[in-house]
Amino acid sequence: MSDVLTYPETELIEENDTDVLTKEPAKVILFNDEVHSFEEVIGQIIKAIGCDIHKAEALTWEVHFNGKSVVYSGEMIRCLEVSHVLEEIALMTQIEV
């Protein structure tokens, strides 16, 4: 008799890092907080995604009114970079695939 227990009704699903990195488009979601000023958020969005001030202001207002907003959509590697820049000043982000 074997010491290994098996559960035929349970299926293990594995997803490796490569699979996650190739799923596109990924999205960076920025969440509202009560800590940062509009100016800080606008400046960090410009730094993170390279947009103009009008786009950054629109995204900041969307975050403010909706509690969150997709601020970038694209390749996972770029989403990680954008998220990292936003988090430099402790903004809260999430990446979805």
Number of folded domains in the chain? 1
Q: Is position 27 within any domain?
A: no
Q: Is position 59 within any domain?
A: yes
Residue 47's domain comprises 34-96
Q: Is position 83 within any domain?
A: yes
Q: Is position 43 within any domain?
A: yes
Looking from the CA of 66 toward its CB, the CA atoms found within 13 Å total 13
Report the C-alpha gap between 85 and 25 in whole angstroms.
19
Q: Is position 16 within any domain?
A: no
pLDDT at 75 over 80: yes
pTM given for the model: 0.77
Q: Is position 24 within any domain?
A: no
CA-closest candidate to residue 25, choices 83, 96, 86, 89: 96
- Over residues 17-55, the pLDDT tens digits come to 555 556 679 999 999 999 999 999 999 999 999 999 999
